[in-house]
């Protein structure tokens, strides 16, 4: 044996070396190695640090159950992937891996001081600690906690890889390609149906890969499957979720096992598979044992040690002790001995051992300790020895070793079965939950079904110990640092359901989803509560089965294909003129147009002053637009909106409020009647699709007798808002066929004619409180018309303005923005829009809800204005409001700020807020507690500018 590499054996190709780095140090392995096996072969026992206490952690398992050895793999700029399990990372030339959750180094981690302070950080400590002094939370506690949170670091640069996605249909889908899965695939394929066989490992075979006696059969079976045209075999593919009607989602890793230079094509592919039958052959996961020191690097599962030795040709130690409560531990020990691993002793809590196993061990020269248990492990960064005692409480005896293997029994992998709502039953012979009933055409085979002979054993993972439970440092969840005594503490705190115990202790809530900890935690809780396991409950398994990259889940739907960015036809002009953008729903909109060295505040102030004193031009093309046409169009809108529409004359506009059935505002907009049977509706930018869908739903399901057609015309029209005292002067030279005089074309009217020689629908409406027109022209002419208006506007000192200025101007006038000044629980009356509700209308959507007791009850939050005592103090939107700033914490909140700006027009700050009983509080001073200070503000009407409307109607 060279180092920890066995002289022969394994499935690695010893002719091909792979060079890689771990924590910056050059290492090497063989083709076919995993990152874990290659490092173990070099004698690396320390792989990571635990989450809470930063205790040293080594390899526990050999597959996706691994909770400790999480690494970050860096494949170049944008290709940094954190939280990968070292046993599941295929070795390739140039692999660059680093350990996680340590500072500054893995061996010398200064944050490991947490382990010395562990008495202060028991389960649920975050619910009881950091409460005093209050001021320290923001300045001390929170920053520290946030810096310590998490494991690996998320990548910060753009992902340069691309991803694939596909759909597949088959008669039979088998998840898991071990012996049982392969046998099921061969049987299903022989019947002629389409078969898909998937497995998460680099090659199919499952447990057979660690059993040389099955390699010849495996080679033949693999070749037979490859020769079948109706069989698709997907290795490196993880079934991450099972959904209704046998819909399975799987993620295939296409190039992660290759160097960047070798990789061609997509990095990963997402498979969406619909199958007539699903067969789960996912095997079982060996359980660790719970005893003092079970987390020291070098303590691992016996099955993992067998995998490393027989599949990868790596010994996990030079002198190994096995702690078993199950026959499988003896089988693994004997197999390891045969492979050349020095097994010094087998310790088994059971006094009665199968005679053939005991005899084989003695014949191999292995010391046997029936009836004994490991009570402690010596060593911190690596195992140096163990202490054993008869029945775990007798006089201790020390054994020298550098690795300790645990064999605590097996848990069927039932995650996907549970995803499909399959029920589970407790099986005493397994000491675990096994599949029971399902409503899907779904079945389990092999170990996954609880139908595999691993031998017999005890079912409890907690070993007897000389220390009482509350003093023990025996770990259940290795990644989250959950100890057996934490579960006892949770019970002491009053928790009884395993779901509550899980959340209080975080047992099973790490990245491995409790694959090795759930059942031990359940059995410990059962013992503490003195109740059967079946009465404690069972945690819920949720997709994904293992963590997946966002790229894999998105597939083709990445960046613009995931969230298409919509741009108006005027967008390029805005970019050419220095616009700073913001995203509004799916649209990119100009937020402001800075000049020179202006910041946003200066630019917005200038734009506001220009609109109020002269004229501003605004791209309003993103507003939703719906054409409503038909003999019953007016009747339809009369039922949809709160106010009356039948009486609206052609050529006139009306502000409309749209409610949900609950009576709360969901959208608003100004709409026009173009003809007796035709309306031009506008919606909010983000509400266009939602409103159209809602209207179509009512039209097709509730009022199918109405003769009405709905057409989305959002992108058909470019909309240019010209706002300000000189708006009429700017568009007059360009408009043909429309009398723009105030008498002929009053506020809230619409006219059709031409502008710059093209068709236009010209609205006299305003969202600024100034004289305003909205020019609607076919989108293909939008840029040309905008430039013509802009050129004419320059004669009058016009400025282009963006959404930020629009927000300020409308707030000065007291106009609401749905979704900002409403929160999904605001009625028309709450928003001060009771005048927009038709009191005489027989019905409209949401009408009945407006009479519910809680809707008409006094004290509801109402929209009001706020003027701060300090005119230069700008409140934070979302800030909470109290009546008495001196009341004890927690204070009684009576409202919150919805909109807040500095008004260049008024020379001071203004705000709008939803306040309980707000309209009855006019003139009252309220208070807004902020970090470090409290701001006082007077309640006023929310209309701060031109309350008489003289500017609007000019």
The string of DSSP letters for 445-504 reads -GGGGT-S----B----B---SS-GGG--BEEETTTTEEHHHHHHHHHTT--SHHHHHHH
To 10 degrees, the CA torsion angle through 536, 541, 545, 549? -120
**What secondary structure does DSSP assign to 130-181, as a single string?**
S-SSTTHIIIIIHHHHHHH--SSPPP-S------EEEEEEEEEEEE--SHHH
Residue 124 confidence (pLDDT) above 80: no
Helix H segments across 750-901? 782-793, 803-813, 853-856
Residue 495 confidence (pLDDT) above 60: yes
Average pLDDT, the chain: 93
- Closest to 23 measured CA to CA, from 80, 81, 99: 99
Instruction: Evaluate whether 595 touches 606 at the Cβ level (below 8 Å).
Output: yes
- Separation of alpha carbons 670 and 684, rounded Å: 10
Instruction: Evaluate whether 206 touches 235 at the Cβ level (below 8 Å).
Output: no
pLDDT band for position 1 (cuts 50, 70, 90)? very low
To 10 degrees, the CA torsion angle through 65, 69, 75, 78? 80
Beta bridge partners of 778: 717
- Separation of alpha carbons 530 and 715, rounded Å: 67
- Closest to 196 measured CA to CA, from 169, 223, 165, 167: 169
pLDDT band for position 112 (cuts 50, 70, 90)? confident
Identify the three-state secondary structure at position 383.
coil
246 contacts: CB under 8 Å, gap ≥ 6 = 173, 274, 275, 276, 277, 278, 420, 440, 441, 442
Strands 772-778 and 758-764: antiparallel
674 contacts: CB under 8 Å, gap ≥ 6 = 650, 651, 680, 750, 752, 761
- Residue 378: the pLDDT is 95
Q: Which of 424-438, 575-589, 747-761, 913-927 has the lowest mean pLDDT?
A: 424-438
- What average pLDDT does the segment 837-845 reach? 93
- Global confidence as pTM: 0.82
Instruction: Evaluate whether 452 touches 435 at the Cβ level (below 8 Å).
Output: no
User: In terms of pLDDT, which residue wins out, 525 or 722?
Assistant: 722
- Separation of alpha carbons 623 and 587, rounded Å: 10
- Residue 660: the pLDDT is 96
pLDDT band for position 457 (cuts 50, 70, 90)? low
381 contacts: CB under 8 Å, gap ≥ 6 = 45, 46, 56, 107, 297
Q: Please tell me the number of Cα atoms within 13 Å of 98 on its side-chain side.
A: 17
pLDDT band for position 392 (cuts 50, 70, 90)? low
Helix H segments across 822-869? 853-856
Q: Which of 389-403, 835-849, 886-900 has the lowest mean pLDDT?
A: 389-403
All domains of the chain in start order, with CATH: 13-127 (3.10.20.440), 164-281 (3.50.50.60), 467-541 (1.10.10.1100), 616-809 (3.30.1360.120), 828-940 (2.40.30.110)
- Separation of alpha carbons 118 and 489, rounded Å: 14
Instruction: Evaluate whether 293 touches 299 at the Cβ level (below 8 Å).
Output: yes
pLDDT band for position 40 (cuts 50, 70, 90)? very high
Residue with structure tokens 């020191």? 293
Residue 455 confidence (pLDDT) above 70: no
pLDDT band for position 430 (cuts 50, 70, 90)? confident
Q: Which of 241-250, 468-477, 731-740, 929-938 has the lowest mean pLDDT?
A: 468-477
Residue with structure tokens 């549970």? 418
Considering just the CA atoms, what is the radius of gyration of the chain in Å?
Answer: 35
pLDDT digit string, tens, across residues 72-83:
999 888 899 999
Q: Which of 353-357, 549-553, 657-661 has the lowest mean pLDDT?
A: 549-553
- What average pLDDT does the segment 180-207 reach? 96
Identify the three-state secondary structure at position 636.
helix
| Other residues' Cβ atoms within 10 Å of the Cβ of residue 649 | 8
- Closest to 376 measured CA to CA, from 505, 289, 457: 289
- Separation of alpha carbons 366 and 333, rounded Å: 9
- Separation of alpha carbons 45 and 34, rounded Å: 15
Token pair, residue 826, equals: 């605001």
Instruction: Evaluate whether 467 touches 56 at the Cβ level (below 8 Å).
Output: no
- What average pLDDT does the segment 928-952 reach? 93
Give the number of residues written for the chain: 954
- Closest to 443 measured CA to CA, from 231, 246, 230: 246
User: In terms of pLDDT, which residue wins out, 328 or 112?
Assistant: 328
Burial class (CB in 10 A: 0-12, 13-18, 19+), 356: exposed
pLDDT digit string, tens, across residues 283-339:
999 999 999 999 999 999 999 999 999 999 999 999 999 999 999 999 999 999 999
pLDDT digit string, tens, across residues 517-534:
999 999 999 899 999 988
User: In terms of pLDDT, which residue wins out, 171 or 564?
Assistant: 171
Beta bridge partners of 154: none
Residue 227 confidence (pLDDT) above 60: yes
Token pair, residue 606, equals: 């200038």
pLDDT digit string, tens, across residues 204-216:
999 999 999 999 9
- What average pLDDT does the segment 789-811 reach? 98
- Residue 454: the pLDDT is 66
Q: Which of 126-135, 246-255, 328-337 has the lowest mean pLDDT?
A: 126-135
- Residue 138: the pLDDT is 76
First to last CA, the chain: 95
- What average pLDDT does the segment 407-416 reach? 94
Handedness of CA 720, 724, 728, 734 (dihedral sign): negative
Burial class (CB in 10 A: 0-12, 13-18, 19+), 631: exposed
Instruction: Evaluate whether 805 touches 813 at the Cβ level (below 8 Å).
Output: no
pLDDT band for position 48 (cuts 50, 70, 90)? very high
Residue 664 confidence (pLDDT) above 70: yes
User: In terms of pLDDT, which residue wins out, 714 or 499?
Assistant: 714
Burial class (CB in 10 A: 0-12, 13-18, 19+), 341: buried
Handedness of CA 311, 315, 319, 325 (dihedral sign): negative
824 contacts: CB under 8 Å, gap ≥ 6 = 664, 666
Residue 2 confidence (pLDDT) above 60: no
- Report CA-CA distances (Å) from 891 to 536, 879, 880, 895: 39, 13, 10, 12
Strands 25-31 and 13-22: antiparallel
Instruction: Evaluate whether 684 touches 669 at the Cβ level (below 8 Å).
Output: yes
Percent of the chain whose pLDDT exceeds 90: 80
- Separation of alpha carbons 598 and 612, rounded Å: 20
Instruction: Evaluate whether 349 touches 433 at the Cβ level (below 8 Å).
Output: no
Residue 132 confidence (pLDDT) above 80: no
Residue 16 confidence (pLDDT) above 50: yes
Instruction: Evaluate whether 386 touches 400 at the Cβ level (below 8 Å).
Output: no
Instruction: Evaluate whether 415 touches 435 at the Cβ level (below 8 Å).
Output: no
667 contacts: CB under 8 Å, gap ≥ 6 = 658, 683, 684, 687, 690, 691, 818
What φ, ψ does residue 442 adopt, rounded to 5°? -140, 135
């Amino acid at each position: 044996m060279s180092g920890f590499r066995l002289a022969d054996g394994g499935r690695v190709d010893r002719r091909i070396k792979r060079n890689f780095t771990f924590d910056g140090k050059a290492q090497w392995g063989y083709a076919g190695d995993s990152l874990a096996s290659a490092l173990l072969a070099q004698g690396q026992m320390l792989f990571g640090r635990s989450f809470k206490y930063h205790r040293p952690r080594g390899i526990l398992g050999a597959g996706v159950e691994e909770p400790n050895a999480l690494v970050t793999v860096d494949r170049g700029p944008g290709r940094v992937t954190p939280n990968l399990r070292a046993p599941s990372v295929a070795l390739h030339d140039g692999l660059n891996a680093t350990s996680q959750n340590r500072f500054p180094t893995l061996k010398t981690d200064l944050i490991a001081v947490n382990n010395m302070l562990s008495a202060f950080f028991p389960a649920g400590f975050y619910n009881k600690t950091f409460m005093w002094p209050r001021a320290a939370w923001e300045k001390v506690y929170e920053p520290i906690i946030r810096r310590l949170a998490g494991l690996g670091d998320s990548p910060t640069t753009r992902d340069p890889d691309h991803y694939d996605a596909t759909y597949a249909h088959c008669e039979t889908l088998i998840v898991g390609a071990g012996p049982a899965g392969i046998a099921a695939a061969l049987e299903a394929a022989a019947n002629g149906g389409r078969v898909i066989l998937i497995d998460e490992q680099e090659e199919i075979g499952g447990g057979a890969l660690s059993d040389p006696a099955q390699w010849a059969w495996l080679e033949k079976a693999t070749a037979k499957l490859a020769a079948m045209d109706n069989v698709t075999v997907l290795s490196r593919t993880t079934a991450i979720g099972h959904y209704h009607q046998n819909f399975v989602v799987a993620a295939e890793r296409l190039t992660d096992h290759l160097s960047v230079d070798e990789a061609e094509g997509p990095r990963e592919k997402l498979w969406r598979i619909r199958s007539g039958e699903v067969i789960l052959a996912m095997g079982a996961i060996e359980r660790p044992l719970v005893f003092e020191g079970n987390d020291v690097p070098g303590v691992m599962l016996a099955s993992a040690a067998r995998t490393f030795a027989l599949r990868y040709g790596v010994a996990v130690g030079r002198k190994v002790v096995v702690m078993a409560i199950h026959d499988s531990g003896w089988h693994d020990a004997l197999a390891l001995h045969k492979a050349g691993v020095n097994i010094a002793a087998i310790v088994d809590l059971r006094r009665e051992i199968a005679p053939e196993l005991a005899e084989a061990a003695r014949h191999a020269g292995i010391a046997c300790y029936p009836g004994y248990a490991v009570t402690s492990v010596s060593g911190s960064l690596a195992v140096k020895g163990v202490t054993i005692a008869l029945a775990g409480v007798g006089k201790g005896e020390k054994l020298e070793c550098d690795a300790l293997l645990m064999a605590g029994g097996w848990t069927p992998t039932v995650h996907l079965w549970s995803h499909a709502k399959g029920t589970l039953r407790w099986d005493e012979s397994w000491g675990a939950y096994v599949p029971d009933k399902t409503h899907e055409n779904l079945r389990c085979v092999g170990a996954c079904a609880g139908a595999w002979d691993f031998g017999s054993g005890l079912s409890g993972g907690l070993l007897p110990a000389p220390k009482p439970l509350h003093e023990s440092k025996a770990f259940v969840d290795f990644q989250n640092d959950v100890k057996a005594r934490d579960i006892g503490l949770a019970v002491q705190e009053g928790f009884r359901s395993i779901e509550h115990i899980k959340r209080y202790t975080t047992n099973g809530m790490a990245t491995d989803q409790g694959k090795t900890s759930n059942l031990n935690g359940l059995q410990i809780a059962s013992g503490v509560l003195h109740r059967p396991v079946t009465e404690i409950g069972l945690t819920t398994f949720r997709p994904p089965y293992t963590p997946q990259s966002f790229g894999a889940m998105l597939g083709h739907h990445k960046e613009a294909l995931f969230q298409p960015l919509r741009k108006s036809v005027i967008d390029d002009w805005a970019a050419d003129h220095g616009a700073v953008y913001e995203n509004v729903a799916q649209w990119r909109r100009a937020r402001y147009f800075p000049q020179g060295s202006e910041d946003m505040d200066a630019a917005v102030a200038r734009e506001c002053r220009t609109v109020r004193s002269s004229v501003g031009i605004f791209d309003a093309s993103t507003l939703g637009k719906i054409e409503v046409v038909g003999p019953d169009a007016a009747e339809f809108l009369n039922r949809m909106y709160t106010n009356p529409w039948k009486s609206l004359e052609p050529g006139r506009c009306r502000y409309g409020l749209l409610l949900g059935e609950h009576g709360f505002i969901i959208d608003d907009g100004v709409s026009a009647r173009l003809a007796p049977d035709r309306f031009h509706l506008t919606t909010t930018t983000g509400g266009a699709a939602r409103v159209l869908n809602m209207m179509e739903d009512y039209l097709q399901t509730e009022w199918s007798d109405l003769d009405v057609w709905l057409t989305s015309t959002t992108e058909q029209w470019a909309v240019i808002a010209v706002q300000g005292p000189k708006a009429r002067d700017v568009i007059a030279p360009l408009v043909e066929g429309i009398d723009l005089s105030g008498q002929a074309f009053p506020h809230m009217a619409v006219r059709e004619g031409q502008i710059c020689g093209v068709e236009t629908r010209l609205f006299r409406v305003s969202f600024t409180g100034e004289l305003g027109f909205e020019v609607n022209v076919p989108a293909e002419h939008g840029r040309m018309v905008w430039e013509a208006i802009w050129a004419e506007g320059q004669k009058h000192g016009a400025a282009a303005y963006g959404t930020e200025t629009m927000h300020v101007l409308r707030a000065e006038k007291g106009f609401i923005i749905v979704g900002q000044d409403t929160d999904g629980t605001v009625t028309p009356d709450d928003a001060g829009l009771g005048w927009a509700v038709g009191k005489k209308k027989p019905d409209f959507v949401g009408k009945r809800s407006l009479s519910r007791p809680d809707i008409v009850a006094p004290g509801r939050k109402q929209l009001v204005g706020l003027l701060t005592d300090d005119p230069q103090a700008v409140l934070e939107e979302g800030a909470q409001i109290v009546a008495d700033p001196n009341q004890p914490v927690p204070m009684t909140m009576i409202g919150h700020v919805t909109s807040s700006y500095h008004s260049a027009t008024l020379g001071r700050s203004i705000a709008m807020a939803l306040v309980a009983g707000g309209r009855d509080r006019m003139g009252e001073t309220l208070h807004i507690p902020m970090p470090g200070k409290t701001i006082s503000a007077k309640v006023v009407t929310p209309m701060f500018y031109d309350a008489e409307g003289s500017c609007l109607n000019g």
